[in-house]
Chains A and B, each alone.
Chain A
Amino acid sequence: MSFEKEIAEMKVKCKKRVAKLIGLIFIVNVLMAAQLINKLMPFANVTEHYASMLEGFQYGLIFGLLIALIGYMVYYTLAARRDDMAKQLYVKETDERNIMIKEKAGIKFFLLNIICMTIAAVISGYFSHIAFFTLVGTVYFEMLLMISLKFYWTKKL
């Protein structure tokens, strides 16, 4: 069976994803520059020790996000150019067992929850360090749960 049509469609998808990632990288860079130069918002109700910790967390998060986005951009750029990588990506994304594992483990739900909670943690850091640590703890717990469920269903199916 040949997958020429599917590979061509995947390459187009990859190009669109690269364009979206470039936009996201630009937004993250603007956010980082604003935070570095102007300090978007001062931390309220927290001691200097916690303020420095929260700031460190924010920079770490932004740098981590940037590295991940650049990594994905490089991966999709290569996939948009190379047939073997495009086919590999197509198989990975359309494989019915992989889709079932993701559905059973609720990966989409967990990812959405993790993203929302991380944003909430960053915002709550400006007001209360207790809320910040609680949310970050919950994010780590959810990540662990998501990985465990994915592992469980990968073994089971």
Chain B
Amino acid sequence: MKTRIADLRKLKKLSQDELASELGVTRQTITSIECGKYVASLQLAYKIARYFDLAIEDVFVFSQEECGK
């Protein structure tokens, strides 16, 4: 799944470590989500969106193919 986390993070001038610490996850989890290797749970997606003051769909880009998987 594509996400805008890396862009949003850069806008806020945050490192992966800092964001991970704010969200209570490991840096590797943030890296994997940014790379699209790992799909965040609804709870974590909500936490990330709330941290950036955005809606989930503004942070995570859902495609039709992914919905059909």
Most buried by B among A6, A94, A97, A98: A97
Across chains A and B, the number of contacting residue pairs, with CB separation under 8 Å, is 37
B window 19-69: CB within 8 A of A: 20-26, 28-29, 32, 37-38, 40-41, 43-44, 47, 51
B24's partner among A91, A100, A156, A157 (CB-CB below 8 A) is A91
B47 to chain A: closest CB distance in Å?
A: 8
Interface residues of A in 84-107 (CB under 8 A from B): 90-92, 94-98, 100
Q: How large is the interface on A (under 10, 10 to 19, 20 to 34, 35 or more residues)?
A: 10 to 19
Interface residues of chain B: helix, strand, loop or mixed (majority): helix
Instruction: Check A95 against B26 for contact (C-beta < 8 Å).
Output: yes
Checking B22, B38, B43 against A97 with a beta-carbon cut-off of 8 angstroms, the contacting residue is B38
Is A91 a contact partner of B25 (Cβ separation < 8 A)? yes
Q: Are B25 and A96 in contact (CB under 8 A)?
A: yes
**Closest beta carbon of chain A to B53's beta carbon, Å:** 13
Query: A96 near B37 (CB under 8 angstroms)?
Result: no
Instruction: Give the chain A neighbours of B41 by CB distance below 8 A.
Output: 96
A1 within 8 A of B: yes
Q: How far is the CA of A3 from the CA of B24 in the complex (A)?
A: 8
Which chain A residues in 105-157 approach chain B with CB under 8 Å? 156-157
